[in-house]
């Protein structure tokens, strides 16, 4: 079961901070919902730097980023 993070509407860098915590908790599968392409890029960057393979898709006005390793 992937850890779900709802980071919609949160400003920089809170989506990254939340993702970082999930990474630190050793989650192997993380899903982050964000509201802007900036947050998407930032979340993807921290996931990939930590060895996750990432994917993203639009969900209405939001963007869902998933990371797995």
Partner 1 sequence: MKNILSTRWGIILAGALIGTIAVSLQFLGNPPNMGVCVACFERDIAGALGLHRADVVQYLRPEIMGFVIGAFFISLALGDYKPRGGSSTLIRFFLGVFAMCGALVFLGCPWRALLRLAGGDLNALLGIAGLIVGIAIGVVFLKKGFSLGRAYPLKKAAGWIFPAVMLGLFLLLAFQVSFSEGGPVFFSQKGPGSQKANLYISLAAGLVIGAIAQRSRFCTMGSLRDIILTRDTHLVSGIGSLLVFAFIFNLIYGQFNPGFEGQPIAHTDHLWNFLGMTLSGLAYALAGGCPGRQLILSGEGDNDAAVFVTGMIVGAGIAHNFSAASSPKGVGAFGPAMVVIGIVFCLIVGFTMRDRMKA
> Among 55, 64, 60, 69, which Cα is nearest to 32's?
64
Instruction: Please tell me the distance from the alpha carbon of residue 33 to that of residue 58, in angstroms, as a whole number.
Output: 10
- Answer for which of 5, 43, 47, 65 binds partner 1 (CB under 8 A) is 5
CB of 10 to partner 1, least distance (A): 6
Site for partner 1 in 8-47 (CB under 8 A): 8-14, 16-18, 20-21, 35-38, 41, 45-46
Number of H helices and E strands in the chain, helices first, is: 2, 4
Q: Does 48 bind partner 1 (CB under 8 A)?
A: no
């Amino acid at each position: 079961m992937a850890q779900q993070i709802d980071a919609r509407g949160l400003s920089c860098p809170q989506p990254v901070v939340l993702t970082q915590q999930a990474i630190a908790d050793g989650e192997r599968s993380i899903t982050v919902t964000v509201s802007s392409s900036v947050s998407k890029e930032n979340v993807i960057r921290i996931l990939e730097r930590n060895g996750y393979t990432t994917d993203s898709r639009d969900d209405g006005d939001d963007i869902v980023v998933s990371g797995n390793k």
